[in-house]
Chains A and B, each alone.
Chain A
Amino acid sequence: MNVELVLFYAFAALAVGSALAMVMNVRNTVASAMSLVITMVALAAVYVLMEAHLVAVLQIMVYGGAIVVLFVFVVMLLNLRQDTFPPARQRAAKALGAALVVLAIVKLLSLMPGALPDAVADLPEGFGGYRDVGTALFTRYVLPFESTSLLLLSALVGAVVLAKRRLD
């Protein structure tokens, strides 16, 4: 076993463990959110092991830093408790969640055709760096990239419109 494999298992276990801690913990929402941060950071470490440095840093910056901070912000503002949701809705949500988990597992298993290959691919120079990812994003994948930003923009405008109506 080489060092990278040991590190991979350590961070993968941390990611899975903290993800479980996030969904199992129903009493304390902020603690759940913090578990999510640990999941994000552990995933970033796995990305580093895959030589995807830019994705790793963005993972921490965007997900670990900005998005979960917003989650925590909202959680602290609303101070949600479990009894806020009526039991009937909770049951429906749980059933839907279980179905989605089963679907995800089936999908994952169908993607794994037997044993994983042993060989390691040779990476081109600069793989995973900001230059290569940036060039790919703005040339080959420019249409998906721009349409994603349009989607986000429309979501943003929609959220503002909804919130504004309630405020006025």
Chain B
Amino acid sequence: MLETIGKILFVLIVVMGAFLPMITWVERKQSAVIQDRVGANRADIAGITVLGLLHPLTDVLKLFAKEDFVPEGANRVMHLLAPVIALVPAIITLAVVPFAGVYDFGGEKPFSFVVADVDWGMLYVFAVGSIAAYGTILSGWASNNNWALLGSLRASAQMISYEVTMGLAIVGLFMCFQTLSLQQMSLAQDSTFRLLGFLEHFGLFETLPAWLSWIRVPTWGIFLQPLGFVMFLTCIMAENKRPPFDLPEAESELVAGYHLEYSGMRWGLFYTAEFLEVPVIGCIVTALFLGGWSIPYLDTQTLISGIGGTFGEGFATGLTLVLHVHAFLAKVIFMIWLQMLIRWSLPRFRYDQVMDLCWKIMLPLSLANVFVTGAAILWLKELGA
């Protein structure tokens, strides 16, 4: 019980306390760098600006000070509820994200650094994600505004479409790792394989020469399922509704889309949900495709025995845990950077382009990916590899 509460606190402090305030700053500064500007640097306390790091604070102060307005003819209850429905799924998705591996501290059960280590973790992510659509849909409908309604119609069509492809895009990954649990997948990615090992089966080499055997690649999802990675990242970014997929709020067509009639802190909740999803997406993509908490070429056992030789087993396990948490967060920060780069590099797609991309390109590709992966796995089994 205490262990679970500790994990929940850790996750909340890291993601809500550190990532969330920083990410608005990262967005401002990274966009500034991309567009050759200085970026936010004015907010100060007694003349100290600390690189514009105080801007998130002033944002929140401003949002709290603004009037919280419900338009005439709006459905009051749903108008109040919608931002909460949008925000909560983003937070509770973190329950199945493994921030570090499984460690044996000599207790009854080995310590697994994930709040809920369930067997169907990835299905939980999908289920929670599908509920998140209601926040967007209800906000537009409850606002009694045609622009907002159009925005939420677009959002619901977009989110349902990309949910289908998102699920199919990682079926290949499930087949490779034979599990749906994010912790089990991360554990499976904590090793390496010989890149050219398959040459032995073609009769090119009896056994691979030593210098070629040295070329090893981590068994990360991105190396096993490169196409799956690209498609999953595209779909999950489309679910997030940030540019280039921000059709539901396209300001040049729909004024502000589904959150047009929101102001003050309740608009801020939509904003928070959208921003919070960026590190959450980072966490999920890292756990699925970037090896999770694992350090490439240094698996857990090597690490523990390496440090344990001089400092003792217990200390080594603890230090490994800390290193793994840092490796995970470093990968998440990389994914945040990548998402920001995409967001500020690509212009908004047209609506038919977004739908064509989903149904005409990615859906057939993801199905093909499933078949090819299945055939490859069967073939490798035949070869006895």
Residues of A within 8 A of B (CB): 28, 30-31, 34, 37, 41, 53-54, 57-58, 60-61, 64-66, 69-70, 72-73, 76-77, 129-130
Contacts and interface: CB of A to CB of B under 8 A. Distances in A.
A76 B136 CA distance: 13
B156 A72 contact: yes
B120 A34 contact: no
Contact of A73 (B78, B129, B157, B180): B157
B123 A65 contact: no
Contacts of A73: 137, 153, 156-157, 160
A66 B120 contact: no
Interface in B14-35: none
Contact of A61 (B119, B130, B137): B130
A115 B337 CA distance: 61
Given A72-B156, A129-B119, A34 B130 contact: no
B120 to A, nearest CB: 6
B149 interface: yes
Contacts of B120: 53-54, 57, 129-130
Interface string B126-164: 110111011001100100000001001100110110010
A76 B145 CA distance: 12
Contacts of A41: 131
Interface in B181-203: none
A61 B160 CA distance: 11
B160 A76 contact: no
B119 A65 contact: no
- Grouping DSSP codes into helix (H, G, I), strand (E, B) and loop, the B interface class, with mixed when no group exceeds half, is helix
A69 B78 CA distance: 15
B119 A69 contact: no
A37 B157 CA distance: 18
A14 to B, nearest CB: 16
A75 B145 CA distance: 16
Nearest to B124: A57
Interface string B83-127: 000000000000000000000000000000000001110011011
Contacts of A61: 123, 126-127, 130
Contact of B133 (A28, A30, A69): A69
Contact of B119 (A31, A37, A53): A53
B123 A54 contact: yes
Nearest to A75: B141
Contact of A70 (B118, B119, B160): B160
A129 B134 CA distance: 27
B153 A65 contact: no
A28 B141 CA distance: 12
A65 B130 CA distance: 5
8 contacts: A34-B134, A57-B120, A60-B127, A66-B130, A69-B130, A76-B141, A129-B119, A130-B180
A24 B124 CA distance: 32
Given A61-B127, A64-B131, A130-B119, 18 more contacts: A30-B78, A34-B138, A53-B118, A53-B119, A54-B123, A60-B127, A61-B130, A65-B130, A65-B131, A66-B163, A69-B133, A72-B156, A73-B137, A73-B156, A76-B141, A76-B153, A129-B119, A130-B120
A129 B180 CA distance: 11
Contacts of A64: 127, 130-131
A155 B233 CA distance: 32
Interface string B67-81: 000000001001000
A138 to B, nearest CB: 13
A34 B138 CA distance: 9
Nearest to A129: B119
Contact of A66 (B124, B149, B160): B160
Contacts of B123: 54, 57-58, 61, 130
Q: Name the residue among B134, B157, B180 with the largest chain A CB count within 10 angstroms.
A: B134
Nearest to B136: A69
A28 B76 CA distance: 13
A61 B130 CA distance: 6
Contacts of A129: 119-120
A31 B180 CA distance: 34
Nearest to A65: B130
B247 to A, nearest CB: 15
B127 A69 contact: no
